[in-house]
Amino acid sequence: MAGKVVLTYFDARGKMESIRWLLTAAGVDFEEVFLTKREQYQRLLDDGSLVFQQVPLVEIDGMKLVQTKAILNYIAEKYNLHGKDIKDRVKINMYSEGLMDLMDMIMTSIWAPDPESKLENIKTKAKDRYLPVYEKALAGAEYLVGGRMSMADVQLLECSLMLEEQFPGILGAFSNVKSFQARMMKVPAIAKFLQPGSKRKPAKPDENLKKTAMEVLYLYSP
């Protein structure tokens, strides 16, 4: 795996999925190491790889990076997906953080004991607070910022697909977002990532994966 980008996480979406998406959009191949045992995680803790004692962990350019936003920003800067100047970057980051907030809500609900109780609130927030922002930004525009694809565009595609998985038809009132989604899905690297057998992870982790993650992280005593 020398010279390749290496991702260490669970065999699930979680906070790593946006990193997978962004690397894919940048045309970067990557290897994955899946955590399945507490011993793997403990070794990472012991050798200092996990600065804040948590994953995702990305090995790139001789560095071991943690913290999702920092990782995404590095990839975006390295592969010209962060705008042409500081004003573009702050707009991209603003749109990106809004999308991450919404995706975090969806991901958290999946792990909740009673996910259905949270989903209606998420659907309302998506329709009333988040999607209108992106619908307005895409009026007459191909991309969110600066006329070219950025990290925020990749995340908007990821988020819009997540929303449709949970709430079919939710984009019906957001024609600009829907058209944008269709355009982005035709980008060759992204189209390949959306095909069965790619490194994209399923929407819902199975119960065995949940149990594995909890045991690896000592979220309960095994």
Residue 222 in domain: no
Q: How many CA atoms lie within 13 A of 24 on its CB side?
A: 25
Tell whether 171 and 197 lie within a shared domain. no
CATH code of residue 27: 3.40.30.10
pLDDT, one tens digit per residue, over 85-138 is 999 999 999 999 999 999 999 988 876 667 677 888 999 999 999 999 999 999
Q: What pTM, to 2 d.p., does this model score? A: 0.94
Number of domains the chain contains: 2
The two beta strands, 5-9 and 57-60, are antiparallel
Tell whether 174 and 92 lie within a shared domain. yes
- Count Cβ atoms within 10 A of the Cβ of residue 123 and give its class: 0-12 exposed, 13-18 middle, 19 or more buried: middle
Q: Which domain holds residue 157?
A: 86-185
Residue 128 in domain: yes
pLDDT for the residue 219: 65
Residue 221 in domain: no
Tell whether 55 and 127 lie within a shared domain. no
